[in-house]
Structure 1
Amino acid sequence: MARRSDEPNPEEGKVLSPEELDIADDEHVTEIDEGRYVVSSDVRTDDSYGNQIPSDSASDPSESSSGNPPEPEFTDANVHQWLAEQMADSNARYGFDVTAKFDGEVDQQQLVSNDIVTVFESFMLWYGRQMDGSTAVEDVLGILLSESNVPVRYPPGAVRELVKSTQLSPDDSIADLLHAVEDDDGVQF
């Protein structure tokens, strides 16, 4: 039997109403540009953080009808807790995560490593670079250590290497050592 031209074609499906075509409020749809959408058949895309939420996850009846989760509260305590958890989850034995302000500029640095010396050295170099761009980092660090109220104890091997670097002999005096150090513009351990 032949189909008349005014009869609906069952292969074409039903005709959608304008309300059925409005997909902007659907939890499986995210508008990426005006008139452009991402549609997922099994994943909610309405998470405000861009994370996909499985559609079978239980919805809280107290949520608004749009399904948006409440905005997280950003407090110092929450941020510090999150950073602590991130550091604890690291597989490294040592690390730091610092936000610092230098002359009005804010800079951040993070490092994790299994080598404690690498972590300390990286932190010190980063900090020294933030102080003064015209002064060498080793000079900045020396000034900071010498001006601080923290006494620094150097191992005897470091002092021995210092004396060797001056080309002095055991017959030379402490005055000779001081003179050699002053001529070199400081001591490098």
Structure 2
Amino acid sequence: MVTFLGFHGHVNNVMYVRYAETGRVNWSRNIALHHDPENSKEWSQLMGSTSVGYILKSIKVDFKFPMMFPDQISVYHKLSNEPPAPNDPNPRHFSNLHLDVLIMSEAKQRPAARCEEDVVLYDYRIAKKLNILPTWMLVQYRKLWEAQEVAKQANREKVKDIERRVRELEVGTWDREGAVESMGSAASS
């Protein structure tokens, strides 16, 4: 029997897969709500089994620490691979959706797990995997990828700025002539 809690009161490992799955559903709903309301019906149908839907082909979970109950989580998804442009002559190289997932423990304020999802689109009406993602979906995934890249570059610049300021502090304190390390209370022993 699968329970939410393991023997020592930690969250059962199978729950992390459920968290990732639920997070992917919410991710798709948010795309429909905030980025592509024109195709919101198609996005919502991805969660069902009457039209075209997501099917989890595989998932890899790297556990970072055992979460203890009670805890709150946040689940973040991002595209792992750059989607082709909608007019790409060979869109088949993107027939699967590869997602990176971060499951954050709010109580500990750190990652509880990282996941890699491989998701396919399945057409329930013809009982077959789709080999090409629909254009409306590729357009949105392309926009998301571009936003991810802009955010990645902005964050790299922030890190560079922090490193530059730390280096300035080091130069002004440690890297000057006559600088002596304070040994604190250890020096008086």
TM-score class normalised by the smaller sequence: under 0.3
> Scaled by the length of structure 2, what TM-score is found?
0.21
> Scaled by the length of structure 1, what TM-score is found?
0.21
Bigger CA radius of gyration = 1
Task: Determine which structure has the larger strand proportion and give its number.
Answer: 2
